[in-house]
Amino acid sequence: MGAEQIRRWESGALAHAVSDPFGQGPLPWLRGSENYFDDTGQVVPWYADLARSTGGGTRTADDVHRQIKGFVSPGAAAPGEAIDFHITVDPPQQFSVDVYRIGHYGGDGAAKITTSPRLSGIVQPPPLAADRTVSCHHWWMSWRLQIPSYWSVGAYVAVLTTADGYRSHIPFTVRHDHPADLLLLLPDITWQAYNLYPEDGRTGASLYHAWDERGRLLGEEDAAVTISFDRPYAGSGLPLHVGHAYDFIRWAERYGYDLAYADARDLHAGRVDPSRYRGLVFPGHDEYWSLPMRRAAERARDSGTSLVFLSANTMYWQVGLAPSASGEPDRLLTCRKRRGPGKSALWREVDRPEQQLLGIQYAGRVPDPRPLVVRNAEHWLWDATGAVEGDEIPGLVAGEADRYFPRTSLPEHDNRILLAHSPYEDSEGAIRHQETSLYQAPSGALVFASGTFAWSPALDRPGHTDPRIQRATANLLDRICKRD
């Protein structure tokens, strides 16, 4: 790993990062681009500077040397259940696990809940690879965390730290089946789809990328078809786009919304009952959906539970989940995309376009952030925001965008409205439009789709917050929760 690669990491990912909520310095939650290029135009991997201090004398572990890396099984558990940690430490030495819960906490973003005893770290075997599927299911269990009955449900992050100061992270969820106003669903399936672990120039693969024998990063046509949840997340150990969910959580907990928590795989497996909630909230990029997930969301809507989609490019690919070799359910994720026999995995190409649930659907990438242009400003969603017809909210159309497709059927509805209509240029210079949608199903359920990646960051990310989006989101959730 040369100095040029380190420089590109700093100028690429970290330049677009935000400070993490654990007080440990910047983390690449917002990568500016999936690819970084050298002076000859070759793609280079996302390597961290191993000598870079990230505060407090700690350094970020990487996927080449694997100073400390780990994953958990299962990814979500209820109080009284256990989370098993599988961790590798190289060189072998003691390490500790600090467990944080994401929330507002007076603006800190997270609170430390517990710390493990000092644990003895070992070098686990190298990841196994079959075709492009990389798995660490053969790693020994390093620590079992029994979730106490008094822990709050929520999104948690385990911070792993070695005695010599290397650090990595593992996200997990604590859920329960008690009723609440809103059920927050963390997009762990989509997080795993983007996971390139290990980013070592040799072995790692996601549903987007893999490496060739010369260490070059290959594209989607050579990527994995099946990937495993039994492996760490690449880089810092936090998934790509994880910050979008955390932005919503901090804001919603600050304003006292009654939240339950679960993962996408919980929805897939039927471990949560959507009818117990007034609304389901999908707070971040949630691109990969299984058939059971979609059926559960449709049944929820049709029985009166509202749906809130705060990102874009939702439910684009259809996926399957299968057990691991040891029989643990939902540990393998498969998406053939357009490769191999059978139908395409695009929902819209198997006669189930996402617009039939969302009200809009994915239109394309947005190369540069553009304003969101307010439409139908007299609607109650825009009440008390100060927005008027045609107002432009800077930077709110970013990342990827959705729009209404006139030739695609809409869901059955009693009323429907578009609340933004925003022009932007695509990568080829053509003018496209982003739209924000809201409709009411015959059951009375509301279905909202923001149609942009930038909605959740506008709620509580430093440098990105916008009071109009905060107020509009509160108007929506208050109506769903039937607040006065």
Region of residue 94 (phi > 0: left; psi between -120 and 50: alpha; otherwise: beta): beta
Tell me the three state secondary structure of residue 3.
helix
**How many other CB atoms sit within 10 Å of the CB of residue 63?**
26
In a domain, residue 290? The reply is yes
pLDDT score for 226: 95
Enumerate residues 6+ apart whose C-beta is below 8 A from 473: 251, 310, 455, 459
pLDDT score for 23: 37
Q: How far apart, in whole angstroms, are the C-alpha atoms of residue 236 and residue 31?
A: 12
In a domain, residue 64? The reply is no
Q: Do the Cβ atoms of 194 and 240 come closer than 8 Å?
A: yes
Q: How far apart, in whole angstroms, are the C-alpha atoms of residue 304 and residue 350?
A: 27
For residue 196, CA distances in Å to 135, 248, 440 come to 12, 25, 39
Residue from 146, 158, 137, 145 nearest 68 by CA: 158
In a domain, residue 427? The reply is yes
pLDDT score for 343: 59
pLDDT score for 483: 66
For residue 50, CA distances in Å to 67, 68, 203 come to 10, 13, 20
pTM passes above 0.95: no
pLDDT score for 218: 86
In a domain, residue 246? The reply is yes
pLDDT score for 26: 37
Q: What is the DSSP letter of 339?
A: -
What φ, ψ does residue 115 adopt, rounded to 5°?
-130, 135
In a domain, residue 280? The reply is yes
Q: Do the Cβ atoms of 76 and 262 come closer than 8 Å?
A: yes
Domain count, the chain: 1
pLDDT score for 434: 98
In a domain, residue 384? The reply is yes
- Quote the domain boundaries for residue 319: 242-481
Q: How far apart, in whole angstroms, are the C-alpha atoms of residue 126 and residue 128?
A: 6
Domain CATH code at residue 432: 3.40.50
In a domain, residue 318? The reply is yes
- Per-residue pLDDT 10s for the chain (484 aa) are 333 332 222 222 222 233 344 433 333 332 333 333 334 444 333 222 323 333 446 788 889 999 999 999 999 999 999 999 999 999 999 999 999 999 888 877 888 899 999 999 999 999 999 989 999 999 999 999 999 999 999 999 999 999 999 999 999 999 998 889 999 999 999 999 999 999 888 899 999 999 888 888 888 889 999 999 999 999 889 888 888 898 899 999 999 999 999 999 999 999 999 999 999 999 989 999 999 999 999 999 999 999 999 999 999 999 999 999 888 999 999 998 877 666 568 999 989 999 999 999 999 999 899 999 999 999 999 999 999 999 999 999 999 999 999 999 999 999 999 999 999 999 899 999 999 999 999 999 999 999 999 999 899 887 789 999 999 999 999 999 986 4
In a domain, residue 250? The reply is yes
Q: How far apart, in whole angstroms, are the C-alpha atoms of residue 12 and residue 130?
A: 31
DSSP 378-436: TSGGGTTS---TT-EEEEEEEEEEEE--TTSPPPP-SEEEEEEEEEEE-TTS-EEEEEE
